[in-house]
Amino acid sequence: MNSHLPVKESLNKFRKGVVCQIPERCLWWIAKVEGTGDDLVLNRILTAWIDESEEQDMKVLSRTLRSASAPPEPEVFTRQEMEVCQAM
């Protein structure tokens, strides 16, 4: 197993213990006002740590502002009919 990925102990369909691993870039968001749910929900999810530090907030803000201040990239809209004509 890849040691840097989150793991969770669970049961397979035969009720045998297994260790599950969440793959990179696989993400589920569970959000509701009262919290993430009861034990049934919590027993079926892999939790991930999120960096909530002020340093990380500043990095995100800096990137967001840099992106917002950059000139917009030109949008190119090509209709399928034009692509067909160009290919011919």
Look at residues 52, 46, 51 and name the one whose alpha carbon lies nearest to residue 5.
46
Instruction: Say what the pTM is.
Output: 0.36
How confident is the model over 5-57, as pLDDT tens digits?
667 788 888 989 888 877 776 666 666 666 656 676 677 666 667 788 999 99
pLDDT given for residue 59 in this prediction:
95
Between CA 8 and CA 32 the distance in angstroms is 22
pLDDT given for residue 4 in this prediction:
61
